[in-house]
């Protein structure tokens, strides 16, 4: 099965809460990418919050995106308190 993002919610500190078609909810840290090329624009908190679902993954208005497999592999399971 190809992993796909089915939901996205921006969190504090440049984190994304992601729902996957596996039924899992995971958290991806965008922080390590904020000083790299096209991703520097994501440092603007209001722009960061403009993230949306796009083709089974996530993207921002100016075409910054991450592949769904990378989002899954580099994220951690969400633990609710």
- pLDDT band of residue 63 (cuts 50, 70, 90) is very high
Residue 1 has pLDDT above 80, yes or no: no
Sequence-ordered strand ranges (E) for the chain: 5-11, 15-20, 25-29, 52-54, 57-59, 65-66, 76-77
Tens-digit pLDDT profile for residues 4-58:
999 999 999 999 999 999 999 999 999 999 999 999 999 999 999 999 999 999 9
Would you say 33 and 41 are in contact if contact means Cβ atoms under 8 Å apart?
Answer: no
Q: Can you give the residue ranges of every domain in the chain?
A: 5-77
Q: Taking the model in full, what pTM does it have?
A: 0.94
- 67, 59 Cβ separation under 8 angstroms: no
Which of the four pLDDT bands, split at 50, 70 and 90, describes residue 80?
confident
Query: Could you tell me the fold of the domain covering 5-77?
Result: NE0471 N-terminal domain-like (3.30.2020)
Q: What is the pLDDT of residue 21?
A: 97
Strand partners, 62: none
């Amino acid at each position: 099965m190809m992993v796909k993002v089915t939901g996205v919610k921006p969190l504090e500190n440049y984190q994304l809460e992601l729902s996957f078609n596996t039924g899992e909810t995971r958290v991806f840290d965008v922080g390590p990418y904020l000083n790299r090329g096209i991703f520097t624009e994501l440092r603007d908190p209001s722009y960061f919050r403009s993230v949306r679902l796009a083709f089974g993954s996530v993207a921002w208005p100016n075409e910054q995106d991450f592949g769904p497999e990378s989002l899954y592999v580099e994220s951690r399971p969400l633990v609710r308190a």
